Structure 1
Amino acid sequence: MGQNCTACLKGVPAEGKNIQDMDLSKRPIGKESLQVIKEDERENIETPLQSDGGDKRYRLYTGNPNMQMSHKAREIEATLPPVDLSFEGISAYCIEDGSIYSGQFNENYEKSGKGIEIAKDGSKYVGSFKNNLRDGIGRLITAEGSLYEGEFSKGFFEGNGKLCYDKFKYEGSFINNLQHGKGKEIWNDGSCFEGMYVKGLKNGLGKFIWNDGSWYKGGFMNNKLEGHGVYCWVNGKKYEGLWADNKMNGFGVFTWKDGRRYDGNFINDRKHGKGQFKWPNGKIYMGNWEYGKQHGYGEVTYYDLKKGLLVTKKGIWEKGVRKEWVKG
């Protein structure tokens, strides 16, 4: 008589698919993914950036800057449309941090305006800069092959953007490299989530659809089902009620495709406390439950065909088994 749904809710939504740390710059990069071409000292000479002979000097880079990109980053870039920054002919320079930069500078010889930066780790950024930081609209391909296109602020993902990372895609709002605000993520296996995020975690209202067609719509807290929500299984089962720590906890209504229905309290996905169970033939049990089974005092109401009326019996149950009827 149990709902047999505990296994469906083990772990966090979609088998733990969530994004807790979007700071891609801190992720380890395998040495095998980098193909850095060493500079030829005969081809790279110190050259003032401007004709006024300013103190700021960078080495002129005369090789192919794209060869400093990691192999994976070059593979990803080959699948993307080119970004036209309309400054052909501007030289590429080796910057103190080990990156290669081609683009616009301000009066302090800081990267400002439009430019292309290939970092020492093999990643590539194309877009806007301000005071040496990525700021404005841009495209970042990391050394391990992740792709972000959207808004930057002071070097961070900030505002609206699209992120393709490992086996999922996310489109929505970011703050400080983390999903924050409204967004949507789609996984390669067909699972998807659309809703609210706070600092990289699902928080607030949202809807998660699993790849088997099951879905949940309601509250989330730190990537877990929390608060009021509706969960529908592909086999026709449905639960609407309170959730806590990814499980049915509190009052809710569970229905089956064949017409069975339970209205009452749950603890960790099990009927527990006061509740009413109704069968398709109209029979009703109302009473106490303990960890999914009738336990303690309860009343059964059913239609007696011989008498032609509703009959209510009172009894005592123990772990799902009726022990005795109670008179009176």
Structure 2
Amino acid sequence: MKIKLLIFAAALVFAGVSASAQCKGKCRNGKGVYTFDDGEVYDGTFVEGKFHGKGTYIYKSGAKYVGEFKDGKRDGKGTYSYPTGDIYTGDFVAGKPEGKGVYTFATGDRYEGEFKGGKRHGQGVYIFSTGTKQTGIFENGILIEEISIERPKKK
């Protein structure tokens, strides 16, 4: 994404875009839609040619981010939908999940808790699709200390 932003900034500086990349609206300062050569699309606010404020970015992989941007990166509250069907909703810092969030897997499993650098990190609850809840401390995406486990009551 950094390379795309550099290319985008260069296009703005030289007041020209390539044959297939295009901007509709105010892509320097204001609201606009920028379509990249590869078909990826950003629809949102721009400040000095960078994504800044609320917006939507659709990736060629099928992934989609809806939320806040700062200086061209996902930053603030947002939702990232992966092409696999997984969804993360929560805080982003410098493009990655960081802070509080909920990661819902396409399988039905869910993690609610703290993230750092895009991974489960800190206290959280992993809720399996079976209903079992595992509360613990996570580090770099791995459960390092189980605090409690709660299984659903059998009927």
Give TM-score scaled by structure 2 length. Answer: 0.88
Is the 1:12–1:246 contact (alpha carbons within 8 Å) kept by the matching residues of 2? no
The DSSP-based 3-state class of the residue aligned with 1:280 is coil
Percent identity over paired residues: 28
Mapped partners of 2:129, 2:40: distance in 1: 36
The structure with the greater share of residues assigned to strand is: 2
In the alignment, structure 2 segments of 5+ residues that lack a partner are: 150-155
Mapped partners of 1:283, 1:19: distance in 2: 46
Query: Which residue of 9, 12, 22 corresponds with 1:18?
Result: 12
Mapped partners of 2:110, 2:148: distance in 1: 18
1:83-94 equivalence runs, <5 A: none
Provide Cα deviations, 1:2-34, integer angstroms capped at 9, x if missing partner: xxxxxx2443462631137xxxxxxxxxxxxxx
State the match for 1:193 in structure 2.
Answer: 23
Mapped partners of 1:324, 1:18: distance in 2: 50
Mapped partners of 2:140, 2:18: distance in 1: 44
Bigger radius of gyration among the two:
1
State the match for 2:142 in structure 1.
Answer: 321
**How many Å apart are 1:188 and its aligned residue?**
2.9
Mapped partners of 1:246, 1:271: distance in 2: 15
Is the 1:12–1:223 contact (alpha carbons within 8 Å) kept by the matching residues of 2? no
Is the 1:14–1:191 contact (alpha carbons within 8 Å) kept by the matching residues of 2? no
- Letter aligned with residue 324 of structure 1: E
**RMSD over aligned Cα, in angstroms?**
1.8
Aligned residues: 148
Runs of 4 or more, structure 1, over 3 Å off, are: 9-13
In the alignment, structure 1 segments of 5+ residues that lack a partner are: 1-7, 21-164, 169-186, 305-309
State the match for 2:132 in structure 1.
Answer: 311
Give TM-score scaled by structure 1 length. Answer: 0.43
- Letter aligned with residue 108 of structure 2: G
Mapped partners of 2:51, 2:2: distance in 1: 9
